[in-house]
């Protein structure tokens, strides 16, 4: 809950960070005062220690908190050391991140799935453009003065906060004294592809008449990049020898993209007096991925062996193996996709804080609008002709899991005795004429209204000081998907070829492709498709096909209390949430009697009431030693997309697939036990264990449909087999988390060592997790056990820091072991279980090494240099078993240098 006591605590910590210029000189001031009491007036601090200062402020908040949290505080000029919130939070203990195109995007708390982490601004939860899984890459760190990762779930927090909540405290004018202007401008280069990088922000803050405070912020970030990318999938278990998994296709995706993150926010606070204040704020973030993708997909299963036998024949199996072989007459599928992904969020709040004696009140009214776009202004598909002699012969080598390669050759011989001809090093030497061209516009759009009120009252319970807290929340969210698309098919002779759309720009990546190609022309291609649409040559698809709408209304109330003792306190209470869902989508029904075939709107509805009790003990074993024990309950709901009634069915097979509006929340019950040692102002150690028991886990299931909403013309489909997300197995997740942060400053001073040695410091954290979920038997495949999706066995964050004489340097390393991405299908053959297609999908271990340096020129100017992804570590996915790599991608190191200013 964001009440007055918490607000005061956070404001006090922010002032600590803002005034850290003074704090950094405390030790020297004490020495001066000891010699001459008047000397303190002559102490001038000429150099800050940004990381140590912000860490000290964060530790003060954490120590005084009534629950388990980790805190990241801005430094004296209001800066966090990373560009976006995901990068910044990823430095904290127990946090892992998932990346996209090398950029941190999602947050895993203590090994849990990303959709178990919620987001709030100033204590008010907001929806994410994508749905339950919150994206943090589109929120710039410049917007925050403080980030609190709340790991202990209390009744004032939303019930779907399972692993924890990331609360972003935005800047406010009363954090500063009078007018303040801060900003940053950095420019740099992405090594792979030679693209430019720009990182900038500007903040203006002022207080007028000690009553009105206004702070405005804007930021802009852009990065031009290319990637090294290949994919080899799906892996198909062969019917002749199921132990051999042959790849159906190999693909190179040649990305060129420009990624932009923008934000603008304004907050105005008005203080009537010390006990009454109101505010209004608007926070707007915008993410744009202008992605140009030219890719070549080689269908290996569309070729044969030398004798003309099929891809799955005995002759092929005997002549090849899954990691190396030759395919004659394979098919080239080439594509041009220009995607202009736009993702935006606008959250607008009016609220207030009030105090009447022992009663405090906090209220918020909010409207949040999000857009998750998927515009594709141009998409073109090319394909090899059916004549085998015009198709390539392929030598494939998949023996290296980090580098799968192919080589092209001419195809010769006869129809019954294929032959490999001369090697071809330019893919455009083969024919692959245009098959179709089109465009798509659309996305998912969410609007959410929220009203929230919280109250606290200081009193006594059984003779003990107790703070009672209670409140309620009402939120109504509606998410819609809209889409329009146009397509034109091509056939015969005289159709366009790749060369018509190509430029003279050659490959920007660093892989050895064994072939040359030319990137395509964005403007020409988009104009080509636009002309097809304008002249009516492209056919518009029925817009109802991909339409769906989901509504969710949550009415919640809670009551909790904090009872204080000489040794600490106990926080306990319960939250109740009533959730109503309704959805609609168009379903294609077959013709029946006089009723023609066509799309019909299907409506569904459901509701549920959930209870979330919790209790937390905070025991001050010593002034510097704190024990925290928490018992929590929570529930994660299926994502909006999974609840939509977008059914497809087959009467002949009596099967149904699609979303599942009746999926119940997966429930969790957990315990946390942590020990925190605040050794001194700059040294902190913590260790803790956690456990969550899981029930009704959401997984892909197959069961009887059990609903009459698809019945029509006397056909009862309620008994059909239904494949969708559903509630199935039980499981658990448990782990150990340790963290250390400290500097050598106190040690060096106590032993009179050279002062420069005091600048060394480090931050170390490790999280070790074990989890399992039991999946039910599906299609004859026995029940099996997997790890909870998104969980790594181990996550490490290591930072080496040096801060002295105005210089700050940080070398940061992050590493996490493999984790599951999705659950796939399996089948039973001859009594053994084999993957159908790829089966389960996993991300391989992930690492990143970053370096940053900053130097304080004077009290107003600081120069900086950042280097990211120094080792150019690759992102790898594999299917079923680690040896079956399905994707590998590299993004290259990035370098940015610039200036920060503070006036």
Given a cut of 60, whether residue 335 has pLDDT beyond it is: yes
Considering only residues 51 and 569, tell me which one the structure prediction assigns the higher pLDDT. 569
Q: In what order do the strands lie in the sheet with 405-414?
A: 324-327, 393-397, 405-414, 417-424
CA–CA distances in Å: residue 190 to residues 102, 638, 753, 872: 11, 38, 42, 11
Report the distance separating Cα 118 and Cα 140, nearest Å: 17
pLDDT tens, 18-56?
433 333 333 332 333 233 333 333 333 346 788 888 888
Per-residue pLDDT reduced to its tens digit, 207-224: 999 999 999 999 999 999
Highest-pLDDT range among 3-7, 599-603, 866-870: 866-870
DSSP 8-state symbol, 651: T
Instruction: Assign 708 a pLDDT band (cuts: 50, 70, 90).
Output: confident
pLDDT of residue 179: 94
pLDDT tens figures, 410-453: 999 887 788 999 999 999 999 999 999 999 999 999 999 999 99
Q: Which residues contact 490 (CB under 8 A, 6 or more apart)?
A: 433, 434, 435, 436, 437, 496
The pLDDT-based confidence of 242 (bands split at 50, 70, 90) is: confident
User: Which residues touch 692 (CB under 8 Å, ≥6 apart)?
Assistant: 112, 162, 668, 669, 670, 732, 733, 734
Give ∠ CA 842-667-608 in degrees, rounded to 5: 125
Reported confidence tier of residue 4, pLDDT bands at 50, 70, 90: very low
| pLDDT number for residue 14 | 45
pLDDT value for 16: 42
CA atoms lying within 13 Å on the CB side of residue 84: 25
Q: What is the pLDDT of residue 614?
A: 96
Compute CA distances 483 → 94, 302, 385, 440, 664, whole Å: 39, 33, 32, 7, 28
pTM above 0.85, yes or no: yes
How confident is the model over 134-153, as a mean pLDDT? 87
> Which has more pLDDT, 242 or 403?
403
Average pLDDT over every residue of 149-156: 91
Question: Cα–Cα–Cα angle for 373, 639, 793, nearest 5°?
Answer: 105
pLDDT of residue 526: 97
Q: What span, in angstroms and rounded, lies between the C-alpha atoms of 843 and 98?
A: 10
User: Per-residue pLDDT averaged across 832-847, rounded?
Assistant: 91
Residue 333: closest CA among 391, 286, 282: 391
Rounded Cα gap, residues 721 and 199, in angstroms: 52
Out of 85-94, 679-688, 880-889, which region has the weakest mean confidence (pLDDT)? 85-94
Q: Quickly state the pLDDT bin for 596 (edges 50, 70, 90).
A: confident
| Concatenated DSSP letters of 254-311 | EEEEEEEEEEEEEEEEEEEETTEEEEEEEEEEEEEEEEEEEEEEEEGGG-B-TTS--T
| pLDDT value at residue 13 | 45
Per-residue confidence band for 593, with pLDDT thresholds at 50, 70 and 90 = low
User: For position 523, what pLDDT does the model report?
Assistant: 96
Beta bridge partners of 393: 409
Note whether 113 and 57 are within 8 A (CB). Answer: no
Report helix, strand or coil for 317: helix
Mean pLDDT of 176-193: 93
The single residue listed with the structure tokens 């710039």 is 140
- Among candidates 258, 266, 265, 267, which has minimal Cα distance to 287? 258
- The pLDDT, as a whole number, for residue 56 is 85
Q: 738-758 as b/e, with b when 16 or more CB fall inside 10 Å?
A: ebbbbbbbbebeeeeeeeeeb
Residues across the chain: 903
Q: What is residue 368's three-state secondary structure?
A: strand
How many C-beta neighbours within 10 Å does residue 447 have? Answer: 14
Cβ-Cβ contacts under 8 Å for 210 (sequence gap 6 or more): 271
Q: What is the mean pLDDT of residues 383-411?
A: 94
pLDDT tens per residue across span 109-125: 887 888 889 999 999 99
Query: Containing H/E element for 652?
Result: none
Phi, psi of 519 (to 5 degrees): -65, 160
> Average per-residue pLDDT in the chain?
89
CA end-to-end distance (rounded Å), the chain: 34
Question: In terms of pLDDT, which residue wins out, 415 or 262?
Answer: 262
Is the pLDDT reported for residue 7 higher than 70?
no
Q: How distant, in Å, are the alpha carbons of 477, 479, 550, 608 from that of 585?
A: 17, 12, 9, 21
* Structural domain spans, the chain: 191-337+373-446+479-541
Q: How confident is the model at residue 555 (pLDDT cuts 50, 70, 90)?
A: very high
């Amino acid at each position: 809950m964001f009440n007055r006591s918490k607000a005061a605590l956070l404001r006090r910590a922010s002032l600590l960070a803002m005034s850290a210029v003074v704090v950094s000189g405390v030790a020297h001031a004490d020495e001066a005062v000891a010699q001459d009491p008047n000397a303190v007036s002559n102490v001038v601090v000429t150099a800050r220690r940004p990381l140590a200062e912000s860490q000290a402020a964060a530790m003060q908040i954490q120590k005084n908190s009534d629950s388990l949290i980790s805190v990241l505080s801005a430094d004296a000029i209001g800066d966090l050391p990373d560009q976006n919130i995901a990068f910044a939070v990823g430095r904290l203990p127990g946090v892992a991140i998932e990346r996209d195109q090398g950029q941190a995007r999602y947050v895993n708390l203590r090994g849990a799935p990303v959709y178990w982490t919620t987001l709030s601004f100033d204590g008010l939860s907001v929806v994410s453009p994508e749905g339950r899984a919150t994206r943090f890459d589109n929120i710039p760190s410049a917007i925050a003065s403080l980030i609190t990762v709340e790991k202990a779930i209390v009744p004032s927090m939303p019930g779907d906060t399972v692993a924890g909540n990331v609360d972003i405290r935005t800047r406010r004018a009363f954090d500063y004294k009078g007018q303040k202007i801060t900003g940053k401008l950095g420019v740099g280069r992405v090594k792979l592809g030679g693209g430019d990088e720009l990182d900038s922000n500007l903040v203006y803050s002022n207080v007028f008449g000690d009553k009105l405070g206004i702070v405005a912020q804007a930021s802009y970030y852009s990065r031009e990049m290319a990637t090294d990318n290949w994919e080899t999938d799906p892996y198909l278990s062969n019917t002749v020898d199921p132990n051999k998994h042959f790849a159906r296709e190999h693909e190179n995706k040649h990305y060129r993209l420009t990624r932009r993150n923008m934000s603008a926010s304004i907050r105005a606070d008005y203080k009537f007096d010390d006990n009454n204040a109101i505010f209004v704020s608007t926070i707007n973030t915008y993410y744009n991925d202008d992605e140009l993708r030219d890719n070549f997909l080689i269908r290996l299963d569309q070729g044969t062996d030398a004798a003309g036998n099929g891809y799955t024949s005995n002759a092929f199996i005997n002549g090849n193996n899954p990691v190396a072989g030759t395919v004659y007459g394979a098919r080239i599928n080439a594509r041009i996709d220009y995607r202009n992904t736009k993702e935006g969020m606008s959250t607008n709040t009016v609220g207030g804080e009030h105090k009447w004696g022992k009663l405090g009140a906090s209220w918020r009214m909010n409207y949040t609008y999000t857009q998750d776009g998927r515009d594709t202004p141009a998409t073109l598909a090319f394909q090899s002709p059916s004549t085998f002699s015009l198709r390539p012969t392929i030598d494939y080598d998949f023996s290296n899991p980090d580098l799968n390669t192919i080589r092209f050759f001419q195809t010769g011989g006869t129809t019954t005795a294929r032959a490999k001809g001369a090697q071809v090093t330019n893919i455009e030497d083969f024919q692959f004429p245009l098959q179709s061209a089109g465009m798509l516009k659309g996305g998912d759009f969410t609007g959410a209204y929220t009203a929230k009120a919280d109250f606290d009252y200081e009193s006594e319970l059984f003779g003990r000081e107790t703070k009672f807290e209670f409140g309620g929340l009402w939120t109504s969210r509606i998410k819609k998907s809209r889409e329009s698309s146009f397509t034109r098919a091509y056939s015969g002779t005289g159709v366009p070829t790749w060369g018509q759309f190509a430029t003279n720009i050659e490959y920007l990546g660093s892989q050895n492709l064994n072939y040359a190609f030319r990137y395509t022309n964005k403007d020409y291609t988009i104009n080509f498709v636009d002309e097809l649409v304008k002249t009516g040559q492209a056919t518009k698809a029925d817009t109802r096909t991909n339409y769906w709408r989901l509504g969710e209304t949550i009415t919640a109330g809670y009551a909790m209390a904090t009872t204080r003792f000489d040794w600490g306190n106990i926080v306990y209470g319960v939250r109740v949430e009533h959730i109503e869902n309704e959805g609609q989508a168009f379903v294609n029904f077959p013709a029946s009697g006089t009723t023609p075939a066509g799309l019909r709107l299907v409506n569904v509805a459901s509701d549920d009431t959930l209870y979330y009790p919790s209790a937390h003990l905070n025991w001050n074993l010593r002034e510097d030693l704190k024990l925290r024990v928490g018992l929590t309950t929570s529930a994660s709901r299926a994502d909006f997309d999974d609840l939509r009634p977008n059914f497809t069915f087959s009467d002949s097979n009596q099967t149904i697939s699609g979303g599942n509006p009746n999926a119940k929340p997966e429930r969790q019950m957990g315990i946390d036990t942590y020990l925190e040692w605040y050794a001194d102002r700059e040294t902190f150690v913590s260790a803790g264990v956690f456990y969550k028991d899981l029930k009704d886990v959401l997984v892909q299931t197959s069961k009887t449909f059990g609903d009459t909403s698809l019945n029509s013309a006397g056909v009862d489909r309620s008994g059909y087999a239904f494949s969708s997300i559903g509630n199935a197995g039980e499981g658990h997740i448990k782990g150990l988390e340790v963290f250390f942060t400290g500097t050598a400053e106190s040690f060096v001073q106590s032993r009179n060592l050279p002062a420069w040695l005091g600048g060394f410091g480090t931050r170390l954290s490790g999280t070790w997790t074990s989890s399992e979920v039991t999946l039910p038997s599906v299609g004859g495949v026995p029940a099996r056990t997997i790890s909870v999706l998104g969980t790594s066995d181990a996550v490490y964050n290591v930072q080496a820091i040096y801060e002295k004489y105005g210089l700050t340097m940080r070398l940061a390393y992050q590493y996490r072991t493999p984790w599951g991405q999705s659950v796939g299908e399996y089948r039973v053959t001859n009594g053994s279980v084999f993957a159908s297609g790829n089966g389960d999908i996993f991300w391989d271990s992930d690492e990143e090494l970053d370096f940053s340096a900053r130097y304080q020129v004077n009290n107003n100017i600081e120069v900086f240099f950042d280097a990211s992804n120094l080792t150019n570590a690759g992102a790898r996915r594999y299917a079923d078993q680690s040896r079956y790599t399905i994707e590998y991608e590299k993004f290259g190191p990035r370098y940015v240098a610039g200036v920060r200013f503070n006036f």
